Amino acid sequence: MIEIGYRYGELHWSGSDQNWSYAHYQVQKIELALENALERRPKRRGSTEATFIPALNEMARVVREHDAARFGEAFERMTAACNACHAAEQVPSFYVVAPEARYSPIRSMPDEMVPDPQ
């Protein structure tokens, strides 16, 4: 979950910057980290698939479509889905909020300099 939290923050900033290549990369990394987490804790798959996966899939669509207008709403739904999943897993104290500050020294490269991953 630590990696997913890090990727969540980077997704927030990359979407806010409309750096869709970097946002796409973060969505892919969240999917991979989540799959690895569920491999270690398969009993959590049910609540994850019911609460979080639909919101992550919506976020992936928004990022693929480079939809800046829908990004904020999709990110809010994904955040709510994180918290719903934590509540379903009896860990509501793991409360997720959008980051207020950038802590990573990594900044995204402008899209015009990066090939589109699609």
Gyration radius of the chain's alpha carbons: 14
Which of 18, 28, 30 lies closest to 108 in space, CA to CA?
A: 18
Which of 48, 7, 12, 46 lies closest to 28 in space, CA to CA?
A: 7
- Kindly report the pTM of this predicted structure: 0.86
Asked if the model's pLDDT at residue 110 lies above 70, the reply is: no
pLDDT (0 to 100) of residue 2: 86
Mean pLDDT, rounded, for 82-99? 92
Interval 23-36: pLDDT, tens: 999 999 999 999 99
Contact 4, 28 (CB under 8 A): no
- Per the prediction, the chain carries an average pLDDT of 90
Report the percentage of the chain scoring pLDDT > 90: 79
DSSP-derived secondary structure letter, 49:
I
Contact 63, 15 (CB under 8 A): yes
